[in-house]
Structure 1
């Protein structure tokens, strides 16, 4: 696969390719320490896995779930977490098999991750919440909004697709074909995963999910009752027409295409992304 096409594929899936030193993650750890948010992560058994999550902000404030992209982890949403924590109770999980969350002997699917997220809400006593999701996290948010409309107050999707037709290209079947392109994600996984040796199995599951799903239609999106902010970069690796069709199909959606941004909008232009998110959720 040509190098440029490969980057497009990985971007479309929400892969976090920036290294930790250039992504602002060290500053996120410092923010947690200096702001009193370094309260440690928590684990809860849900649907056959041990789900890791972190919380930030005032537990009595309106709740918001912040969901990272595929092969990512909580830290890849750090700009959004720190921006929201000042006025919201932020709940940020590592998705099934990702980061510090364990995997199970079943395929990783968007539907399973959506079910995990709803179960986490149940365990935390959160009846209804806002959701901010990037890429795979945005797809999870769309599924929750379709299947559990009463659980979502407002939804922000960033660079999400509702069918595989929205991808510019499909990833390869085998993660080994990606070589060093996956090195940053693999390195972080090896540092924090409960079973670092599980990387090959985990990444293979995610690649299979990307190649075969999601498989929703514009008619499915009509079921969404919550207001939705559909965000994408002007140069996003999700097809522009697909993003526009998503916004048109959702009954109460606002489209925000950010000039000059790629699929990595939350990390590339955090101030611009956060301004839209905070304005939308504050309504």
Structure 2
């Protein structure tokens, strides 16, 4: 494992941002750290075909109270894809590698969409102590007959570029080894993975788990019923159904989501 680091002092000199890359299983995984070194750690994980910058506004509201670690998922943002198969299990192991590099064995996690699924996997695995977990627009399973499966099956690099041109341009600007069509193809396979490398299992076996599930009321990828069913499966689980928001509730209703997250993490 090799690393490269760039540290940037804050305006006050109290906090320090470290932009780093570590080599993990054939890929360069990019992450950044911002906040007081002595503050409790908080990992922020973005969604599919996105990047760590997508959660910048949410993270910035937490940096005064937490040491915020933002990770670009393998193949996304500033991280390279490498040759290993892209799976939720692989993303989980990449995050673990970052945390071990930072010598952290206990953290809270915020995960949006794919990042939330990785968060569930990290909590279930017990490889680290996940103190609290916040997920946004993230389910723990994909049923064979779920309508969202048909939506995901039809996603291609071309369709994504046409529907989300800004997302594509950000990827092209940031990624050191851009191959967008390959990334999307790998991501779709990951989204549809029904094996042990995909969605987490044994989600009910989380003694002492402290989870906040957030969903936008107009989220077409994570139904209200699926969210309620999930919340009922987890002990000590809170639920926030955000009005007038879709899948990206943290962007569409940032003030409401930030308040929910802060109150949950600091309680």
Match of 2:61 in 1: 83
Report the counterpart of residue 9 of structure 1 in structure 2.
Answer: none
Identify the match of residue 99 of structure 2 among 112, 116, 121.
121
Question: Aligned pair in 2 of structure 1 residues 181, 38: CA closer, same or farther (>3 Å)?
Answer: farther
Q: CA deviation at 1:103?
A: 1.1
Alignment partner, residue 115 of structure 2: 137
Partner residue of 1:148 out of 106, 115, 126: 126
The Cα shift of 1:167 comes to: 6.0
How much does 1:34 deviate?
5.5
The residue that corresponds to 1:10 in the other structure is none
Residue 245 (1) aligns with residue 247 (2): no
The separation in 2 between residues aligned to 1:167 and 1:186, in whole angstroms, is 25
- Listed as ranges, the gaps of 5+ residues in structure 2 are 1-8
Give TM-score scaled by structure 1 length. Answer: 0.82
Q: Check 1:207–1:235 CA distance in 2 against 1; reply closer, same or farther (3 A cut).
A: same
Could you tell me which residue of structure 2 aligns to residue 227 of structure 1?
Answer: 210
Cα distance in 2 for residues equivalent to 1:175 and 1:51: 22
Of residues 175, 188, 208, the one that matches 2:189 is 208
Q: Which position in structure 2 is the counterpart of 1:195?
A: 177
Q: Give 2:240's match in structure 1, choosing from 230, 233, 256.
A: 256
Larger % of strand: which?
Answer: 2
- How many residue pairs get matched? 249
Preserved contact between residue 175 and residue 207 of structure 1 (Cα < 8 Å): no
Which residue of 2 is the match for residue 272 of structure 1?
Answer: 256
Note the 1:166-205 alignment, pairs <5 A. Answer: 168=148, 169-171=150-152, 172=154, 174-196=156-178, 198-205=179-186
For residue 80 of structure 1, report the CA deviation from its aligned partner: 1.4
CA separation of 1:267 and 1:203: change in aligned 2, threshold 3 A: same
Q: Is the 8 A contact 1:145 1:152 kept in 2?
A: yes
Task: Give yes or no for contact 2:116–2:135 (8 Å, CA) kept in 1.
Answer: yes
Where 1:164 maps in the other structure, the secondary structure is coil
Shift of the 139–54 alpha-carbon distance from structure 1 to 2, 3 Å rule, reads: same
- Unaligned 5+ segments in structure 1 are 1-31
- Point out the more displaced range, 47-56 or 86-95: 47-56
Question: SS in structure 1 opposite 2:78?
Answer: coil
Where do 1:23-102 residues align within 5 Å?
39=17, 41-102=19-80
What's the TM-score once normalised by structure 2's chain length? 0.87
Structure 2: how far apart are the matches of 1:38 and 1:102? Answer: 25
Structure 1 residue 211 displacement after superposition: 2.9
- For 1:26, the equivalent position in structure 2 comes to none
